[in-house]
Structure 1
Amino acid sequence: MTAPFVHPYIPNTAPESRAAMLAAVGAETVDEFYADVPEALRLGRPLDLPAPFVAEQDLARHVRGLLAKNRSTQERLSFLGAGTYNHYVPAVVDEVIGRSEFLTAYAGEPYEDHGRFQALFQYQSLMAELLEMDVVNVPTYDGYQATATGLAMAGRLTGRPRVLVASDVLPAKTSKVHDYIRAHLTLDHLPTVNGTADVAAVRAALGDDVAAVWVETPSATGAVEAALREIADAAHAAGAVLVVGTDPIGYGVLAPPALAGADIVTGDIQSLGLHQWFGGAHGGFIAVHDDPRFVMEMPSRLFGLATTDVPGEYGFGDVAYDRTSFAHREEGKEWVGTAAALWGIAAGVYLSLMGPAGMAELGEVLLASTRYAQQSLSALPGVTLDDDAVHLREFTVTLPVPAAEVVSALRAQGIEPGVVVDEHRLLVCVTELTSQSDIDRLASALAAVVAPELAEEQNR
């Protein structure tokens, strides 16, 4: 029998130490800690790792080989979206967040400030102006967690157990939100109509057990919700909270959810000056009105103007710190860990560079490019748009051939045509970096797959 491996620097690998720790928590084996993880998600075998490298140069060569397998959207024509987007990042954004005083823009207090609190205060202020809200938090992990927290806040405020999901939501986001709130809230998914919420279905499902109505706009398919005011009025009449998950990129031209009655607005700031970086730099925001009931339910940090020990002098620091788990520890309403503060600084630089006019121009370009792409693809034989809603950046099409075949065929030409939704549906995304000629190239390549005769005639 092989003796158990004991690491020289990791004490809990020693059998006696591990046994003592298990006894202290009342567990028989380490496997008990993973009871909530479905068997299908467990590896069931050791990691497939190479033998240890003796020399540093050998390890460096191995890692370079792994990285060389990646293909970025700088190398390929990409129409991929679904939560991580290829927007332009101004050079000054990278310059600022690369500065040494911001590289440790974490959450805790051990680090010297060097303007970090002020930079995040400015980010919060810019986001509040963009969203027409009063209070915005320091970024959390990502937009998924921010939306989950927004729903948890609604549950605490109302004391009710049910959430109505009125929009199409990305499956990954639904999974993350469910995992976060499942101990206290249940998700009740309602049907959508023509890409957006079915207001009649929302009204019919509302009751005194509903904590919140959750609306995504743009939705998972890029549809912009047109009936937000009606949904807000219905939710409020039933004593429920309206929680909106969104992407702030379009609010230079679109009316922010707060103006239509949203109580809690959440989302991700990846679109605001953050690269895709093979999965994206993500940070979540939570925005509320200046209402103490809502503000005091926000678990994450807020930076604001604060008095100092010098009379008449102000600085930037934590606001209502006693809300947080940092203050209450295990007695806190909701645990908050590592913040994505550096990404908040990046988004703040981006918004300050763009300004209201820049955000408006960007929104107009996104709407126009999305519509041009919809018209170009739906003009192909057998290709249809899935709804008539207004779309921002993303939309779905139904194809006459399997979507996976389209992806394989176009990928061979250096084009990523979109994300497969189901057998015949494709989610297509455009940004300000997608030119008209890029869209035309996609349409031409798609025509060669779905209508080869037409493509051949056009190429004559």
Structure 2
Amino acid sequence: MNQPFTHPYLPNTAPDVKQAMLDATGAASVAEFYADVPDELRLSRPLDLPAPFPAEQDLARHVRGLLAKNRSTEDRLSFLGHGTYQHYVPAVVDEVINRSEFLTAYAGEPYEDHGRFQALFQYQSLMAELLAMDVVNVPTYDGYQATATGLAMAGRITGRRRVLVASDVLPAKYSKVADFVRVHLDLEHVPTVNGTADAAAIAARLGADVAAVWFETPSATGAVETALRAISDLAHEAGAIVVVGTDPIGYGVLTPPAEQGADIVTGDIQSLGLHQWYGGAHGGFIAVADDPTFIMEMPSRLFGLATTDVPGEVGFGDVAYERTSFAQREEGKEWVGTAAALWGIAAGVYLALMGPQGMADLGELLLARPRYAQQRLAAIPGVVLADGALHLREFTVNVAGAGLTAEGVVEALRREGIEPGVVVGEHTLLVCVTELTSQADIDRLAASLAGLATAADASTTPVTTATILEEQNALVSDAVLPLAPELTQEQNA
């Protein structure tokens, strides 16, 4: 039992190799490397893994069996979102990023990878145009890290600690951001009203110690923030920086946060040409204006144009490289890796293919189709919308009045080949509708949910669709372009 174990898949588990590594680092045991991990997060038992397979073909068969248990959202009717989304990925995106000169997560170096530098420069340029910002970074790991970095930048710039969280944030994102900034910043969530920021409550909490006001738009429930300009003005008067976490998929039709007072815009590019892939290929972006105060606080790599010794020729390389942890090493303000560079190229190809008109058409669909879904679901007796905000792509419904639970809905409809959404409360379901969701798909969801409600003998009178739409339309202001009054037949198809 106490004999040293050498795992056949892990060469570094051999006792002599492990001891050599410990000697080189000066550690007495492997446990020293995990001293900072709290006891409650440690596994106090061995991993529940099968015995090692001595033959490679047996291991391959075992893994294939495990993978066969997966069910893709391409195989089922899916209304799943909550941070990872099912958007259409043009075939040319996969073709380009699978080319050998691009197929690595690493960003490359100028003496060997001018092509990758140029592709990422073009991605940055397209993102800057979409977001109405001047400077966009080479992708960092994911949108969670990007938003955390944006808040850390605000803390360093202002020298303050307090951050007002103005929107409903994905729980996983809030947890990650809070962990990332906990040494330097204190997060204070301000409850929302009807799905969006409470301007009066934020104004009451602003003070000389507030480093940033953090918005998420769309929020965790898909609500679009329509008071961003007014609250941004209040934040700036108090000397605070406005940091917005967002998904760029809607900015062919929505007014970008930069044009509503945002100083730092962050988010994830998974929606731009990246598959869901059982959890998603994620990459984070940080966008700022052409202001050294902000640019020099960005820890990420930036690629720009540079002149060469050959007249008329330009190259592509790092901009203000001295900012980065690559240059400063342990003296850097924040460590940044290059694990998402390939996804930046994918997003660049996607944006180049879509163009301004394509992004505008897509944005209209992502507003119109969810509204149609809201109409259909809210017409079911006992099913009501959780708020009256304007929603992009996602919204929540409460099924308590229909005598149902969210878990019960998921379990029942899953047997019909439908993933109806993500459970976010005992009676609350988050429903996601994208351009891949047809009117027939929405009607099928509504019919199945109505069947469950009928079986539960619900007696609650539903909120009328007219009331819901009246509340939604009242929220449409200068922050967004006007919606078409009704879905066209083409949009319904």
| TM-score tier (shorter) | over 0.9
Residue 440 (structure 2) aligned to one of 417, 437, 441: 437
Q: How do 1:9-158 residues align onto structure 2 when only pairs under 5 Å count?
A: 9-10=11-12, 13-14=15-16, 16-17=19-20, 20=23, 24=26, 30-109=30-109, 112-113=112-113, 115-158=115-158
* C-alpha contact (below 8 Å) 1:306/1:319 kept by paired residues: no
> What is the TM-score normalised by the length of structure 1?
0.94
* C-alpha contact (below 8 Å) 1:105/1:116 kept by paired residues: no
Secondary structure of the structure 2 residue equivalent to 1:211: strand
Shift of 1:108: 4.1
**Other-structure match for 1:330:** 330
**Other-structure match for 2:373:** 373
Closer/same/farther in 2, CA of residues 19 and 252 from structure 1, 3 Å limit: closer
1:167 alignment partner AA: S
Shift of 1:171: 0.3
* C-alpha contact (below 8 Å) 1:325/1:335 kept by paired residues: yes
Secondary structure of the structure 2 residue equivalent to 1:101: coil
Between the aligned partners of 2:49 and 2:205, the Cα distance in structure 1 is 51
* C-alpha contact (below 8 Å) 2:77/2:441 kept by paired residues: yes
Q: How do 1:22-421 residues align onto structure 2 when only pairs under 5 Å count?
A: 24=26, 30-109=30-109, 112-113=112-113, 115-310=115-310, 313-400=313-400, 401-421=404-424
**RMSD of equivalent CA atoms:** 2.0
Closer/same/farther in 2, CA of residues 138 and 229 from structure 1, 3 Å limit: same
Residue 447 (structure 1) aligned to one of 450, 454, 460: 450
Secondary structure of the structure 1 residue equivalent to 2:101: helix
Shift of 1:105: 4.8
Tell me the percent identity: 78
Q: Deviations over 1:154-212 (max 9, x none)?
A: 01101111111000000000011011111111110111000000011111111111110
**Other-structure match for 1:424:** 427
Secondary structure of the structure 2 residue equivalent to 1:192: coil
Between the aligned partners of 1:161 and 1:12, the Cα distance in structure 2 is 47
Unaligned runs of 5+ in 1: 456-460
Between the aligned partners of 1:184 and 1:415, the Cα distance in structure 2 is 44
Secondary structure of the structure 1 residue equivalent to 2:51: coil
* C-alpha contact (below 8 Å) 1:196/1:389 kept by paired residues: yes
Shift of 1:135: 0.2
Unaligned runs of 5+ in 2: 459-493
Secondary structure of the structure 2 residue equivalent to 1:201: helix
Secondary structure of the structure 1 residue equivalent to 2:163: strand
Closer/same/farther in 2, CA of residues 89 and 389 from structure 1, 3 Å limit: same
Secondary structure of the structure 1 residue equivalent to 2:220: coil
Between the aligned partners of 1:35 and 1:10, the Cα distance in structure 2 is 21
Between the aligned partners of 1:150 and 1:374, the Cα distance in structure 2 is 33
Shift of 1:60: 1.4
* C-alpha contact (below 8 Å) 1:12/1:18 kept by paired residues: no
Task: Please identify, of 3-12 and 237-246, the stretch whose mean Cα deviation from structure 2 is larger.
Answer: 3-12
Secondary structure of the structure 2 residue equivalent to 1:163: strand
* C-alpha contact (below 8 Å) 2:423/2:430 kept by paired residues: yes
Shift of 1:449: 1.3
Task: Please identify, of 437-446 and 99-108, the stretch whose mean Cα deviation from structure 2 is larger.
Answer: 99-108
Q: Deviations over 1:55-76 (max 9, x none)?
A: 2221111111010000001111
Between the aligned partners of 1:20 and 1:105, the Cα distance in structure 2 is 32
Between the aligned partners of 2:357 and 2:457, the Cα distance in structure 1 is 42
Between the aligned partners of 2:3 and 2:332, the Cα distance in structure 1 is 43
Between the aligned partners of 2:441 and 2:94, the Cα distance in structure 1 is 26
* Paired residues, number: 452
Between the aligned partners of 2:6 and 2:415, the Cα distance in structure 1 is 48
* C-alpha contact (below 8 Å) 1:136/1:302 kept by paired residues: yes
Between the aligned partners of 2:173 and 2:216, the Cα distance in structure 1 is 11
* C-alpha contact (below 8 Å) 1:130/1:252 kept by paired residues: yes
Secondary structure of the structure 2 residue equivalent to 1:10: helix
